[in-house]
Amino acid sequence: MAEARRSNSSQRVSWNATAVSATPLEPENISSEPLEALAIPGAGGWIGVFVQSCQSLQSQQQQQERWISDVAHELRTPLTALSLVTESLAQNPNKKQVVQIERLQRELDRLQRLVSDLLELNKLDNPSLNNTESSIKIVNIRDLVGKAWQTIAPLAEQHQIDLVLESSNAHPVMGNQTLLHRALLNLLDNALRFSPDETEINVKLQLEGRWQRIEISDQGNGFSPEDLQHMFERFYRGDPSRASAKRVGSGLGLAIVQQITIAHGGHIRARNNSSGGALLVLSLPVSP
């Protein structure tokens, strides 16, 4: 800054900022980030200083993903311990403790789902951790929809919500069965969360050129304009007043669906049905 004021001209300087962090697994971790400062002289002796990172966006994203993964792994152990304590308390609670224990268990379940979703996203974001190519095979989408529905069927039965599957135009796809099952499960669970009691969730399998379309629609209030703009962003949650169920998602379910879809060379879109309710359309390349 002194040189910029003396010469009345812009001055630029670069250096590496060193940071030291510690975790239980890594007692001392030293990292370095390249920084650059630009000093610009102004009127009245004022100096404007702009500091920016020279680290590439890709490097910053990788660092952020590593940090999220590390935090998620660190949270797993204490959450498991708390769950065990809660289960122990639930064996012989008094009347005042019942409600508190149920609330604690719900929150622990939500945090555990969040951690699992974070780790799943980290795996999808890192090809080196995601062994998708080695498990590619022909997948029967109709059967996979049925298996995904069986997972959430007990929740659906509580609210008298039925699945209506139209699969006359189904075609196998090439993909990772485990990941595609997760994508379908997330989509069906999302539809269930926003479905009023005693309604239906409709799934239509339709062949469109080289694409297998999977249309999942509910009879809820549909998406708001803000939902349609942000729904696939991480940690975004729609208007809670639209949800018929009291279950709260992690805000990562649809982001995981999008990542799985991209990994399979497909695409996913969302819109509202003309007759009401939300519609999500997942398109995957059909097998040769």
Residues 132-145 have a mean pLDDT of 82
Question: Is residue 165 very low, low, confident or very high in pLDDT (cuts 50, 70, 90)?
Answer: very high
Residues 138-164 have a mean pLDDT of 93
Residues 136-147 have a mean pLDDT of 92
Calculate the average pLDDT of the chain.
80
pLDDT of residue 129: 42
Residues 146-155 have a mean pLDDT of 93
What confidence tens digit (pLDDT) does each residue in 75-129 have?
A: 777 777 887 888 887 888 777 778 888 878 877 877 777 777 777 777 776 654 4
What confidence tens digit (pLDDT) does each residue in 212-258 have?
A: 999 999 998 888 888 888 888 887 877 666 665 555 566 788 988 99
Given a cut of 80, whether residue 144 has pLDDT beyond it is yes
pLDDT of residue 25: 45
Given a cut of 50, whether residue 143 has pLDDT beyond it is yes
pLDDT of residue 248: 59
Q: What percent of the chain has pLDDT over 70?
A: 80
**In Å, how far are 6, 266, 287 from 284, measured between CA atoms?**
64, 5, 9
